[in-house]
């Protein structure tokens, strides 16, 4: 109970400086890539118009971290930064630079992709370029890395499945990232046309992810507050599309995760779906939820889903028994400035000081080890060398009894009480 | 403290059997109305395909309540049902029949309207027919009724403003109901084109509402679970559009409410908006939220918004201090089967037994009296005659000390603690 933590970040980012992706792109797309590069300045201006870049902050960030940020694509530098942060292993999503987008994979094949907004052939080509490069990165310290396959599945399902299989054969084992938004006019994720994607991922043991990023910009305009408020919902949306429409019944080995969209909405979502499914008063007048629904929504969630909550707020950790401690995966969002790098050790001490050690071990590493198949024995020496201990997080002697009632209560709608129990420190 | 409650339902429904709206419709739309009526059977089939009607339940419901359901359009019958339920006054939305939609206003001008899906001229004509009829209904027992003006504002803003002013002059004082969804391709509610609507409502003292009902059916297909899970979000969405984009700065007298979409999401929403606005770690990299944002989102919420939570679950009441006790309006959703009629007295005793009496008085009536300008002196005799007392709700001698810490904590992100306090009964 007192040994160092095996800390796995279920949310990191890597990507080449954009122009260097050319070497990983099929030659027939080079001309289109030149045009894409020529539009990068206009894209940067558009980002500024959307309020996505605070100039003063950007200057400070790049000034202070110029050298360290090479970790976005340099494996040795990357290991050094992970070591310093106490992180033994990582699950790698695209787009290393979330401040000024200088590491964008070709043709927008990254966090912000929306199915309706890209040209499928180019998006798949850009994704393949990134996936090829990422497979190389993951060959350095392979026990520490799981690379996520970028998979623009909307528009060309067979092409996407081919790329998923190719990238898997190439060594990528971190699952796939699909566009969180299919976009207006494209087929939603309950459509059977996507079954070959779910089938391939179930067969290959690749979890399917959405990652926060996309939102309906044409509706939100340049109102940054709208973007910040809605982006979580759009990222999480495919989760209930899969749960309610029988996808997990058809593909029992499929796993699905929502990354960097927080976990604060999870308890409410499960409560709302379960009480509807149980046909409490408000849904008695409605017809069936479908013969394919054989279990409560929260049971599908527990069996198939996880939340890459990244850097949890204390509010979210306080509500962890509703989401399920075993379903929550911590991440440092390295090297994004909204993450905890390079101060992860301090952040962990702040957030986890009164969280029971066994629960902390689950959320900080063991849950991710299980979802992504990390070899914990192979990682043990790394953890022993760099991992913070419970004492380092201030957990020795911490009073964890505050959590007794919330833990026993769990999902109150299933355990009996008619109100939740989230007990904070008394004012 | 022991006297009867003044109970105001901030969510009831009234509407004529569809074909009887003809008398309230301009003659030039009669031909279109005949076509609309001819499509009602097909619409009913479509509702069944969507899972919105449980045949067995519908048969039972109409069998048991055939006579009482005439209260949907008959004022005397209505007063008798409200009396029996202990409800002194009501705020009236359209669509009395939410089981088989036999009281739909012409051309879809009701709860389910989506801006992009209607023809503005017809929608306004249908709304006017309903509004004219409703003004008549409200002339019976006027002290007990506030009729909500149906206002399809998307597509023809000047026409909608004319109808709002006409209906207000006709005596309707319950505010307006706008489509919760503008729909794909139509202008979102941050667009300045809607300023004349906000201006008129601010001037006339009419609260603007969305009411639960619409959802993007073309994306959800016939998957009822998706509809149930998403419909709340689509109904609440305009709330943050108005808060983040300066509408309440431009129209300081404007009030906005979300009705029958529950209140369970409110605390999370306010927390998330406030911490973003306060530029905590996760939003430092972003630019400004706009010069028009002079206060925290929760301050705009408190000053301008309310939640017509209708029939609250215990879970929602337990979280009332984050939403704000003064912002929550109870409703019985009469005469919809998902509401509490005809058993409201029992439901109140179940939900409110351990809620402090002063807070119950606010949520059950006084908040609505303030938002809608009910004359509480005129209603006092009605309340004295029919209102349940705290003793009737089991509140005399109830232990309310359970709520002391949650009440003192309130919105923890503003009061200090880093975790919420929602204390349920210990398991």
Which residues have CB under 8 Å from B59's CB, separation 6+?
A: none
Q: What is the pLDDT of residue A203?
A: 98
> What values do phi and psi take at B192, rounded to 5?
-65, -15
What CATH number does the domain containing B290 carry? 3.20.20.140
Position B427 pLDDT exceeds 70 = no
Tell me how long chain A is: 427
Q: Tokens representing A231?
A: 């982006």
> Does residue B52 lie in a domain region?
yes
Nearest to B424 among A53, A417, A427 (CB): A417
Q: Tokens representing A75?
A: 């494996």
For A368-413, write each residue's pLDDT tens digit: 999 999 999 999 999 999 999 999 999 998 999 889 889 999 999 9
- Residue A137's Cβ-side half-sphere holds a number of Cα atoms within 13 Å equal to 32
Instruction: Judge contact between A245 and A190, C-beta under 8 A.
Output: yes
Q: What is the pLDDT of residue A427?
A: 44
The residue to which tokens 């070709």 are assigned: A106
> Does residue A424 lie in a domain region?
no
Interface subset of A 37-66, CB within 8 angstroms of B: 48, 51-55, 57-58, 61
A86's torsion region: left (phi>0), alpha (psi -120 to 50) or beta? left
Q: What is the pLDDT of residue A426?
A: 52
Q: What is the pLDDT of residue B402?
A: 86
Query: How many whole angstroms separate alpha carbon B307 and alpha carbon A199?
Result: 43
Q: Assign B294 to helix, strand or coil.
A: coil
For A249-265, write each residue's pLDDT tens digit: 999 999 999 999 999 99
Instruction: Judge contact between B26 and B141, C-beta under 8 A.
Output: no
Instruction: Judge contact between B280 and A46, C-beta under 8 A.
Output: no
Mean pLDDT to the nearest integer, B349-357: 96
Contacts 24+ apart (CB under 8 A), A116-119: A116/A154, A116/A181, A116/A182, A116/A183, A116/A184, A116/A185, A116/A186, A117/A183, A118/A152, A118/A155
Position A424 pLDDT exceeds 70 = no
Mean pLDDT to the nearest integer, A296-318: 97
* Share of chain A residues as helix, strand and coil, in percent rounded to the nearest 5: 50, 10, 40
DSSP, residue by residue, B330-344: E---TT-TTS-TT-H
| Helix H or strand E segment including B350 | helix B344-352
Tell me how long chain B is: 427
Mean pLDDT to the nearest integer, A97-126: 95
Q: Assign A114 to helix, strand or coil.
A: strand
Mean pLDDT to the nearest integer, A322-329: 98
Task: Enumerate the β-bridge partners of residue B328.
Answer: B307
Please, what sign has the CA dihedral across residues B34, B113, B208, B9?
positive
Indicate yes or no: CB of A221 within 8 angstroms of CB of B190: yes
Cite the beta strand spans of A193-335 per DSSP E.
Answer: 208-211, 256-259, 305-310, 328-330
Instruction: Judge contact between B118 and B182, C-beta under 8 A.
Output: no
pLDDT more than 70, % of chain A? 99
DSSP, residue by residue, A376-387: HHHHHHHHHHHP
> Does residue B117 lie in a domain region?
yes
Q: What is the pLDDT of residue B421?
A: 87
User: A284 contacts in B (CB within 8 Å)?
Assistant: 54, 57, 337-338
Query: How many whole angstroms separate alpha carbon B75 and alpha carbon B184?
Result: 39
Please, what sign has the CA dihedral across residues A164, A168, A171, A176?
positive
Distances (CA, A) of A47 to A101, A224, B279: 9, 11, 18
Instruction: Judge contact between B106 and B129, C-beta under 8 A.
Output: yes
Position A363 pLDDT exceeds 80 = yes
Q: How many domains does chain B have?
A: 1
Which of B181, B184, B329 has its CA nearest to residue B241?
B181
* Spatial strand order in the sheet of B305-310: B149-150, B176-177, B208-211, B256-259, B305-310, B328-330
Which of B103, B223, B102, B206 has its CA nearest to residue B151?
B206
| Helix H or strand E segment including B338 | none
Mean pLDDT to the nearest integer, B53-78: 92
> Does residue A421 lie in a domain region?
no
> Does residue A2 lie in a domain region?
no
Nearest to A53 among B219, B287, B311 (CB): B287
On the 0-12 / 13-18 / 19+ scale of CB atoms within 10 A, A56 is exposed
Position A425 pLDDT exceeds 60 = no
Angle subtended at Cα A268 by Cα B286 and Cα B273, rounded to the nearest 5 degrees: 25
Please, what sign has the CA dihedral across residues A44, A48, A54, A59?
positive
Task: Enumerate the β-bridge partners of residue A150.
Answer: A177
For B86-135, write each residue's pLDDT tens digit: 999 999 999 999 888 899 999 999 999 999 999 999 999 999 999 999 99
Query: How many whole angstroms separate alpha carbon B82 and alpha carbon B95?
Result: 17
Nearest to B281 among A269, A286, A338 (CB): A338
Interface test with A, best of B50, B229, B297 (most A CBs within 10 A): B229
> Does residue B420 lie in a domain region?
no
Q: Is A402 in CB contact (< 8 Å) with chain B? A: no
Mean pLDDT to the nearest integer, A10-28: 97
Task: Enumerate the β-bridge partners of residue B308.
Answer: B259, B329
Q: Assign B199 to helix, strand or coil.
A: helix
Which of A16, A13, A74 has its CA nearest to residue A336?
A13
> Does residue A99 lie in a domain region?
yes
Q: Which residue of B has its CA nearest to A409?
A: B427
pLDDT more than 90, % of chain A? 87
Q: Tokens representing B320?
A: 């009332």
Which of B226, B244, B242, B406 has its CA nearest to residue B316?
B406
Q: How many beta-carbon pairs below 8 A join chains A and B?
A: 238
Nearest to A51 among B99, B190, B288 (CB): B288
Domain that holds residue A348: 8-415
Residue with the larger pLDDT of the pair A84 and A98? A84
Q: Is A158 in CB contact (< 8 Å) with chain B? A: no
Q: Beta strands A208-211 and A176-177: pairing type?
A: parallel
CB atoms within 10 A of CB A132: 18
Q: Which residue of A has its CA nearest to B220?
A: A188
User: A55 contacts in B (CB within 8 Å)?
Assistant: 287
Instruction: Judge contact between A348 and A86, C-beta under 8 A.
Output: yes
Instruction: Judge contact between B424 and B318, C-beta under 8 A.
Output: yes
Query: How many whole angstroms separate alpha carbon A368 and alpha carbon A373?
Result: 8
For B306-351, write each residue's pLDDT tens digit: 999 999 999 999 999 999 999 999 999 999 999 999 999 999 999 9
> Does residue A49 lie in a domain region?
yes
Instruction: Judge contact between A175 and A210, C-beta under 8 A.
Output: no
DSSP B25: S
Interface test with B, best of A353, A419, A425 (most B CBs within 10 A): A419
In this prediction, residue B424 has a pLDDT band, given cuts at 50, 70 and 90, of low
Position B280 pLDDT exceeds 80 = no
Q: Assign B177 to helix, strand or coil.
A: strand
Q: Which residue of A has its CA nearest to B272?
A: A229
- Angle at which helix B224-244 crosses helix A266-277, to 10 degrees, equals 140
Query: How many whole angstroms separate alpha carbon B381 and alpha carbon B358?
Result: 20
Mean pLDDT to the nearest integer, A334-356: 96
User: Do you find a cis peptide bond into A335, omega within 30 degrees of 0?
Assistant: yes
pLDDT more than 70, % of chain B? 99
Interface subset of B 108-147, CB within 8 angstroms of A: none
Shortest distance, CA A139 to any CA of chain B (angstroms): 31
Which of A58, A221, A199, A32 has its CA nearest to residue A129?
A32
Query: How many whole angstroms separate alpha carbon B235 and alpha carbon B245?
Result: 18
Q: What is the pLDDT of residue B33?
A: 97
Position B279 pLDDT exceeds 80 = yes
Which of B310, B311, B306 has its CA nearest to residue B323?
B306
For B151-199, write each residue's pLDDT tens digit: 999 999 999 999 999 999 999 999 999 999 999 999 999 999 999 999 9
Q: What is the ipTM of this complex?
A: 0.96
CB atoms within 10 A of CB B418: 15
């Amino acid at each position: 109970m007192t040994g160092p933590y095996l800390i796995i970040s279920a949310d990191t980012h890597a990507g080449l400086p954009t122009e260097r992706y050319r070497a990983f792109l099929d030659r027939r797309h080079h001309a289109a890539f030149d045009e894409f590069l020529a539009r990068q300045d206009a894209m940067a201006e558009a980002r500024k118009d959307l309020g996505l870049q605070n100039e003063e902050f950007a200057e400070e960030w790049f000034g202070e971290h110029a050298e360290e940020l090479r970790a976005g694509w340099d494996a040795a530098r990357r290991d050094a930064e992970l070591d310093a942060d106490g992180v033994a292993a990582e699950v790698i999503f695209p787009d290393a630079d979330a401040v000024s987008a200088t590491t964008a994979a070709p043709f927008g094949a990254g966090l912000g992709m929306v199915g309706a907004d890209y040209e499928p052939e180019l998006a798949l080509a850009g994704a393949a370029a990134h996936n090829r490069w990422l497979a190389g990165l993951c060959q350095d310290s392979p026990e520490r890395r799981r690379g996520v396959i970028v998979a623009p599945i909307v528009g060309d399902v067979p092409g996407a499945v081919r790329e998923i299989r190719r990238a898997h054969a190439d060594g990528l084992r971190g699952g796939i990232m699909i566009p969180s938004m299919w976009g207006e006019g494209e087929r939603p994720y309950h459509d059977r046309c996507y079954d070959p994607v779910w089938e391939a991922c179930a067969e290959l043991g690749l979890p399917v992810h959405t990652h926060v990023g996309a939102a309906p910009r044409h509706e939100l305009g340049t109102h940054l507050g709208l973007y910040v408020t809605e982006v979580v919902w759009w990222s999480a949306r495919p989760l209930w599309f899969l749960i309610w429409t029988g996808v997990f019944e058809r593909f029992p080995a499929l796993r699905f995760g929502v990354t960097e969209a927080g976990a604060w909405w999870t308890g409410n979502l499960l409560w709302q779906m379960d009480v509807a499914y149980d046909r409490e008063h408000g849904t008695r007048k409605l017809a069936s939820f479908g013969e394919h629904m054989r279990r409560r929504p929260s049971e599908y969630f527990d069996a198939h889903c996880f939340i890459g909550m990244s850097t949890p707020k204390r509010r979210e950790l306080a509500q962890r028994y509703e989401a399920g401690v075993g379903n929550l995966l911590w991440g440092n969002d390295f090297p994004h400035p909204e993450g905890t790098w390079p101060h992860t050790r301090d952040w962990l001490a702040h957030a986890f000081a009164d969280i029971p050690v066994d629960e902390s071990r689950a959320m900080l590493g063991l849950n991710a080890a299980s979802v992504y198949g990390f070899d914990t024995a192979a990682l043990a020496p790394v953890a022993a060398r760099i991992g913070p201990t419970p004492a380092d997080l201030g957990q020795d002697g911490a009073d964890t009894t505050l959590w007794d009632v919330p833990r026993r209560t769990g999902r109150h709608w299933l355990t009996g009480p008619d109100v939740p129990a989230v007990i904070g420190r008394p004012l």
